[in-house]
């Protein structure tokens, strides 16, 4: 039987989602908790890979197991066992062929920029006090919707087979003393969102024109785009699936 796990985590203490040698990851900590409590090795497959320091308000992973009699009790025990920066919200049955990564139809990220010094959001938002032109940044965001190849925003020497992503939403909003960027797409390349935000900041500062942004995307050259913004301002906020995957 296949189960989906809905969870959230603060990524500050972790080297991203995916297991890697000599570094503590979210996947490693979760698999240890599941395996310890269930008495047998449990392997989790995530909906994607968040980078070091990136947070998730909603991450989905799947695992295979026999019938779980009391899911609420398992969730309670897992949350008691796990560190405070990882929280399990739900575990539910899905069709056996469903896959947390490949069946996701969209992923939504938000990036938070604090426009003033704030002692309480120092680890949650990127403090950038120089004035940014929000209208220009939103105009630049619309440019993204007209393209599909985003190699210019991908980490160099990436092992992906295609740089094609279908961006369905990209916009900036002012919320109190923060600027929040929301972007939704079928998939994302490694480092893509942080590189996009860094490039749109260049647009907001007047250092890059809209035509210049178009040229950067067409160049497929990472060195032409802006610097990547810090990871601690980035949040995976939603992973969307077809409603039909969940068993009633």
Q: Which residues are catalytic?
A: 51
Which two structure tokens, joined as six digits, stand for 216? 């950067």
List the alpha helices (DSSP H) in 92-204. 134-144, 192-204
Kindly write down the DSSP assignment for every residue of 61-100, as one continuous string.
Answer: EEEE-S--S-HHHHHHHHHHHS-TTEEEEEEEEE-TT--T
134 and 201 Cβ atoms separated by less than 8 Å: no
Cα distance between residue 88 and residue 41, in whole Å: 18
3-class secondary-structure state, position 6? strand
The HSE-up count of residue 51 (CA atoms within 13 Å, CB side) is 18
Q: Give the whole-angstrom CA distance, residue 29 versus residue 228.
A: 27
Q: Count the neighbouring beta carbons within 10 Å of the beta carbon of residue 89.
A: 13
At which residue do the structure tokens 């295609």 appear?
162
């Amino acid at each position: 039987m296949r189960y989906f796990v809905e969870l959230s985590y603060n990524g500050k203490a972790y080297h991203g989602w995916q297991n890697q040698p000599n570094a503590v990851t979210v996947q490693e900590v979760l698999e240890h908790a599941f395996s310890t409590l269930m008495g047998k090795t449990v392997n989790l497959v995530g909906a994607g890979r968040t980078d070091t320091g990136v947070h998730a308000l909603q991450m989905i992973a799947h695992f295979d197991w026999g019938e779980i009699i009391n899911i609420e009790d398992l969730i309670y025990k897992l949350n008691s066992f796990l560190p405070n920066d990882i929280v399990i919200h739900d575990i539910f049955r899905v069709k056996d062929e469903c896959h947390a990564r490949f069946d996701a139809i969209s992923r939504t990220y938000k990036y938070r920029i604090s426009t003033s010094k704030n002692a309480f959001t120092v680890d949650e938002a990127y403090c950038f006090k120089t004035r940014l032109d929000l209208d220009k940044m939103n105009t630049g965001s619309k440019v993204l919707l007209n393209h599909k190849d985003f190699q210019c925003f991908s980490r160099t020497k990436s092992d992906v087979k295609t740089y094609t992503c279908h961006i369905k939403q990209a916009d900036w909003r002012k919320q109190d003393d923060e600027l929040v960027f929301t972007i939704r797409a079928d998939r994302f390349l490694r480092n893509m969102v942080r590189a996009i935000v860094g490039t749109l900041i260049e647009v907001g500062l007047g250092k890059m024109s809209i035509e210049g942004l178009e040229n950067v995307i067409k160049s497929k050259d990472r060195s032409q785009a802006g610097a990547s913004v810090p990871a601690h301002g980035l949040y995976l906020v939603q992973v969307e699936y077809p409603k039909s995957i969940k068993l009633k």
